[in-house]
Amino acid sequence: PPQRPQIPKHQFCADLSQCLFDFVVQLLPTAEELAIKEDVRKLLERLIRTIEPDSRLLSFGSTANGFSLRNSDMDLCCLIDSEDRLPATDLVNMLGDLFARETKFHIKSLPHARIPIVKLSLDPKPGLPFGIACDIGFENRLALENTRLLMCYAMIDPARVRTLVLFLKVWCKRRKINSPYKGTLSSYGYVLLVIYFLMHVKNPPVLPNLQQIPPMRPISQEETHLNGHNVWFFDDINVLRQRWQSSNTESVAELLIDFFKFYSRDFTYNTGVISIRAGLLSKESKGWDNDPDKGTARERNRLCIEDPFEIDFNVARCVTRDGLYTIRGEFMRASRILAARPERAFIALAQLCE
Ligand code: ATP
Ligand code: MG
């Protein structure tokens, strides 16, 4: 067949941006779903307080960071503000029994896991078509902080940042490259890839680096550190909105196209470490390259994404050689689909998420 002339890039991008917004909007959780989840949190908090009166149950992960999709799971963290609290193992066992007695949830206690948790789930029913899945962990204060950091990034430029992140979350789930247990990357890892790209790859940047903006008043080490990790970042979004305006005017579609391009051909996977805190780092400088004493270092550090606060921790350590190969293959596939610029942008979206 005769080749049709490709539609101009600006026209394709305008069309694709609109499609992305429309696509993402219908995937946001409904007000009803959010209300049900908040009721669940309150109910569980009330029950936990019958055992530990000084406890609070807080949301983290996507339900609290602005990147939640319809029917995403609930990540909850229990904080106990008293000195003589029960060991996590005992607490997990007691809470498991209590929830089993007092609620309709299916319960699974994992008291001996690396991070002890209680898992709760509710089967789907009318009015709750996907059920509920919820994990309760304990004293995970760093997760609360990184959730707050991501939330601030989501709020700085919601139209572009949230749209990109939400789309990529759907895309990586549909393409089956979002299972740390099977050697691919967690949602948290993908969000860090997007923030890194917008902050350190795009020039001019779409996002400021909140961890590098100096505080407005002197603050002590006690205020900035948590379990030995510096968790300080500029979190006054109102001030930031007045003072910081990105001079990058690219559309969400242009950013998406470049995101896939960057991670399919430009990022130096063999030597580079993605750090939203400090920009591009080397595996060597972090001791994440081939360390002869740690035979598994190479296997654990195929893909390196530094946690924003726990900087010795590679968020992508679960990604295997095959997993990375698959992920990179998917970035290339996505790049190819977008470069072909089908006449109607929604066709590109449908192909991407096939
Ligand atoms: P989803 O909607 O797919 O559940 P999510 O935003 O909740 O996505 P998760 O990957 O479930 O993302 O992570 C939830 C939270 O758990 C993160 O905000 C982070 O605090 C913590 N977390 C998850 N994975 C890691 C990891 N590999 N390293 C460190 N913290 C992690
Ligand atoms: Mg989650």
Return the CATH fold of 31-143. Beta Polymerase; domain 2 (3.30.460)
How many CB atoms within 10 Å of residue 262?
17
Please answer whether residues 304 and 270 qualify as being in contact, where contact means their C-beta atoms are separated by less than 8 angstroms: no
Does ligand 1 have an atom closer than 6 angstroms to the CB of 314? no
Written as one letter, the residue type at 47 is: L
Give yes or no for a cis peptide into 204 (omega within 30° of 0).
yes
How many angstroms is it from 188 CA to the middle of ligand 1?
4
Report which protein residue has its CA nearest ligand 1's atom 21.
143
266-310 pLDDT, tens digit per residue, is 999 999 999 999 999 999 999 998 665 555 677 789 999 999 999
Does ligand 1 have an atom closer than 6 angstroms to the CB of 140? no
Computed over every residue of the chain, the mean pLDDT equals: 93
- DSSP type of residue 180: G
143-181 pLDDT, tens digit per residue, is 999 999 999 999 999 999 999 999 999 999 999 999 999
Does ligand 1 have an atom closer than 6 angstroms to the CB of 143? yes
Residue 190 tokens read as 């993908």
How many angstroms is it from 187 CA to the middle of ligand 1?
6
Q: Which of 170, 99, 130, 111 is nearest to 334 (CA)?
A: 170
Q: What are phi and psi of 106, to 5 degrees?
A: -80, 135
6-21 pLDDT, tens digit per residue, is 899 999 999 999 999 9
Domain residue extents for the chain: 31-143, 157-207+246-352
| Residue tagged 């900035």 (tokens) | 224
Sequence-distant (6+) residues with CB within 8 A of 155 are 66, 237
Q: For the structural domain made of 157-207+246-352, what CATH number should be given?
A: 1.10.1410.10
